[in-house]
């Protein structure tokens, strides 16, 4: 009888050890999965917030850039002919500075991604080209330059709208 008691106790003890080991491995695996899931969720949220910040910064600066274009349009309409070149020269510096800032923000969006948002940001940046070329021609008194400058607003706003849509989709 003592023999069978020993074996029953040994079997019970062994079963308890194995059950404890299996439970421990299961808990360790569950904790690892939970930690990995939390880390991925945190990384995803950081990426989303980083993208959101980059997108909002670009949108805000696009609006600041168009304010410079509005000032150029106003100077073209209101400045006397003899003062117009000086007014435009002063605004050219602001336009170039605004373009540089816009370009840097486009680069950040390219870095943050995804490709659709980067493509839309590049299209927005390229939509400033007609303004710049028309402004250069306005300073040279090209009669068609003013109408080209004014016609550049619609494509610029369309490119900004496309970027906003791509940014919304990315978020």
Q: What is the mean pLDDT of residues 113-142?
A: 92
| 116/31: higher pLDDT | 116
pLDDT digits (tens, 9 = 90+) for 66-103: 999 999 988 888 767 777 778 888 888 899 999 999 99
CB 136 within 8 A of CB 125: no
Per-residue confidence band for 44, with pLDDT thresholds at 50, 70 and 90: confident
CATH of domain 47-170: 1.20.1420.10
* Whole-prediction pTM: 0.76
pLDDT confidence tier of residue 147, bands split at 50, 70 and 90 = very high
Q: Could you tell me the residue ranges of all domains in the chain?
A: 47-170
């Amino acid at each position: 009888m003592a023999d069978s008691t020993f074996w029953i106790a040994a079997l019970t003890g062994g079963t308890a050890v194995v059950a404890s080991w299996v439970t421990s491995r299961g808990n360790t695996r569950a904790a690892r999965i939970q930690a990995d899931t939390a880390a991925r969720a945190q990384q995803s949220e950081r990426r989303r917030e980083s993208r959101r910040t980059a997108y909002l910064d670009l949108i805000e600066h696009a609006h600041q850039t168009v304010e410079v274009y509005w000032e150029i349009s106003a100077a073209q309409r209101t400045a006397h002919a003899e003062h117009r070149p000086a007014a435009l020269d002063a605004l050219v510096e602001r336009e170039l500075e605004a373009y540089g800032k816009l370009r840097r923000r486009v680069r950040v969006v390219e870095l943050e991604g995804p490709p659709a948002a980067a493509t839309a940001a590049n299209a927005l940046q390229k939509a400033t080209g007609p303004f710049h070329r028309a402004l250069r021609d306005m300073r040279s008194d090209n009669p068609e330059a003013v109408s080209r400058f004014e016609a550049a607003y619609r494509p610029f706003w369309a490119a900004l709208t496309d970027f906003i849509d791509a940014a919304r989709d990315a978020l």
